[in-house]
Amino acid sequence: MGAGTAAAGAALPAPGRAVVETASRAVSGRASQAVAYAYAAIGKPYVWGATGPSAFDCSGLTQAAWQAAGVSLPRTTYTQINAGHRVARSQLVPGDLVFFYSGISHVGLYIGGGQMIHAPHPGAPVRIAPIDEMPFAGASRPA
């Protein structure tokens, strides 16, 4: 799915927009900036170890998205889960980091409505996907 393409017919926000409309609610502030950055990365290739701006791996995408919002995150998935504070799945809001698999080996950026933007694996570009696509392991909210 390329930039400007929407899942389920929903319009994607323009990059840099002050408030990002998500599937569930409007987001403002730093989370809005992180989510807008992730939307702008849709369609860019997955490259292991890449931190943008032209390619990403999963934790490189989340790190770059939050860096665009002025928040520094650790580089790896298994260290990002300890950035900010943990949140329950039922309390997710857009901008939260969502983690998957035993051993915390994948991360995405929650955008609302049970969806995330993530860099899935080599050969698959950054895209929107349901968080139910993989075994959920936890979530954290960057400061």
The catalytic residue among 64, 100, 118, 134 is 118
Let me know if 106 is a catalytic residue: yes
Say if residues 118 and 108 touch (Cβ distance below 8 Å): yes
- Options 63, 106, 107, 112, the catalytic residue: 106
118 is catalytic: yes
- 10 Å CB burial of residue 70 (0-12, 13-18, 19+) is exposed
How is residue 86 written in tokens?
């943990």
58 is a catalytic site residue:
yes
Based on its alpha-carbon atoms, the radius of gyration of the chain, rounded to whole angstroms, reads 13
What are the catalytic residues?
Answer: 58, 106, 118
